[in-house]
Structure formats: C-alpha cells, structure tokens
Amino acid sequence: MPELLSKIPPGMRYHSGREARLRRRIEDRVMSIFNGHGYEEIVTPGLDYYALFERGMGAEAASRAFRFADADGSLLALRPDVTSTLARAAATFFSTRPRPLRLCYAANVWRANARSGAEWRREGKHLGCELIGAPDESPTRIESDVEMLSMVAAIIAKLDLQDACRITINNVGIFNGIAARLNLDTEGREQARRLIDARDSSGVQNFLTERTREDKDCAEFGRLVQMTGRDEMFTAARRIITNEQSVRALGELEAVWRGIATLELNHCFEIDFGDTSELDYYTGTVIKIYIAGAGTRAGNGGRYDDLIKLFGQSETAIGFMFDLDALTDALKGSNE
C-alpha cells in the first residue's frame, strides 16, 4: 500500500467508540440549549468563496483557510469560520425575515494551522448561535448581550463543567479607544494586541511608553490589561481610563455585568481587560471560555455590529461558539 494511503493528513483525526458517542451527546446537549431559547438551526455551505471570509474575518485571519481555484478560476475556501457565512445569509437570503433572527449551528470548520502549537487541529466542529437584528438601543442591546452570556452559563451547567470553567468578558471598545488616542495604525494595533494577548507585561509597557510620553492615562493602561477580576475591576478602570470611547465601552460592560448579576450568574464570569480579540469584526462585548483539561480555548464570541453591513445592510449582531474538540477533551475523564 502506498505510504500516503496508510496515513491521514496532519491535524486530522478519526473519532470512534466511546469518544464518538461522547461527542454526539455533547452536541445534542448544547443544541438543546439553543433550541430551548428559540434558536433555529441552520446548515451553511462547507465550501464558499474565499472573498467572503477575507471580508468577514479580515485578511490575516482568513489567510489560515484552505484555498484552491475552482474550474472557472474563482478562489474557493473550505469554511474556516461560520459567523461570516451567517452574516452574508442575514443580509441577503434572509433579508426579508422578521427580526431579530435567532440562528444556531453545529458546523465543521477547517483551518491551515501549523503542525506545532496549541491549535494543531486543522478540522474541528463549532457549536454556536447568533442573534441578529435586535434593536440597537439600550436596554435591548444590553439584554441581547446578557441573553448570550446566560446561554453560555446554561451550557456549562448542562455539561456539569462549572468547577472546571473560566469565562471572561470584556468590551473591545476600551482597547479601541486607547488605540485611537495613540493614533495607532493597523500594524501598531496588531502589535499591541499580540503583546496584550501574550500577557507580556514588559513588552506592553515598553510599547506604550514609546508612544505615550506624557500621556499618563495611556501609559497606565498597560497595567490595567494585566488585571482580571469582578466588580472591583470597574473601580480600577475608572482611575485610569478617561477617553470618551473607552469610558462609553466601560459603561456598556458594566451594564452587562449588572444584567448577569440580576440573574445571579456573575459568579460564572470574570472581567478581563486584556482580551482585545484577534478578529477584526468584534465591536463590543467579547467572550472567552476556558475549561481545565481542554487542549485549546473552549469557546469565544462577542458583538459584531459592523459585519453584516459589509454584505448589504447594517444590523446589530452578537454570538458565540463552543469548540466540540475542546469540550470532548475536558469531559473524557468524567463518567459521561
């Protein structure tokens, strides 16, 4: 037998037996939460035009897609992201449907990840939902964010992962306000994001000091992004943040925090000002989900109000997804 026929490509896996059954149970439980909240399941194409993802995800993130030419010369890609496909659907195929749209999915994604590193898998499955077209006004906007977070908490409880889970929230407008105040170009913003995401304290301080000089607020922002916590984080942030955009974003984040506190769910979450989001389409609240025993981050999401207008009409939108591989890894050692 030729050597390649006895192997599978790097980053791919077979799932069988107990693991396959566990994956099916996890998927069924997550989808039952979405269905119980009135979300309609949608199946999107696994193959689409690369331009869709380049526009939706941004050029850097989309470059990780598997790309190839169609017979007519069009550049195609295996789906690396579901949100972009749903944004296009909302603005085109579903443009006349009553709003808001509540959509959920269980969809495979493919990404050309490097063979080394934490995210080595090239094929995965995302379980997610999107709320599109809710009124862009308070308190409805805040209610939409709280609806997402309450479903995240419900899924974690359904899978009995509360003790192993850490869920962080932030508002990317806080970072964007600082970046605007510093007049950072695209390259500068990406460099700042990478340093903050890596929790590189000295790197962040050096980066900001070189650009802030006498701007004390921006210089102290480097200290803020190293902190995580709960209610006390808002007091700490107000001592540092003064620019209008960041202050407004901080106020929105605090309103969301009060919303989940009203539902007695705030113990499930932490504030993390160091989450600046790696995808360009996020505009407000962002969510990151970590579970002990998972090899990679177990999920993420957030608000992306500017994405759908790229495909024809402007609408509010927020969503999140769980990575099925990460959930499976976390539950393998349990009695599931």
- Give the range of the structural domain holding residue 131, as residue numbers without chain letter: 17-331
- Does 288 map to a domain? yes
pLDDT confidence of residue 218: 66
pLDDT at 107 over 70: yes
Q: What is the pLDDT of residues 232-286, one digit of tens each?
A: 999 989 988 888 999 999 999 999 999 999 999 999 999 998 888 766 778 999 9
- Does 9 map to a domain? no
- Does 2 map to a domain? no
Average pLDDT (206-218) is 67
pLDDT confidence of residue 103: 98
- Total structural domains in the chain? 1
Indicate the pLDDT class of residue 178, thresholds 50, 70 and 90: confident
Its pTM stands at 0.92
Q: What is the pLDDT of residues 54-77, one digit of tens each?
A: 999 988 889 999 999 999 999 999
d(CA 296, CA 131): 25
Q: What is the CATH number of the domain that holds 22?
A: 3.30.930.10
- Does 3 map to a domain? no
DSSP 202: H
Query: Alpha helix (H) ranges present in 37-139?
Result: 50-57, 59-62, 83-91
* 327 Cβ contact list (under 8 Å, min separation 6): 26, 30, 159, 161, 291, 294, 298
- Does 64 map to a domain? yes
Q: What is the pLDDT of residues 315-329, one digit of tens each?
A: 999 999 999 999 999
- Does 94 map to a domain? yes
Count CB atoms within 10 A of the CB of residue 270.
16
Average pLDDT (206-229) is 72
- Does 326 map to a domain? yes
Q: What is the pLDDT of residues 81-93, one digit of tens each?
A: 999 999 999 999 9
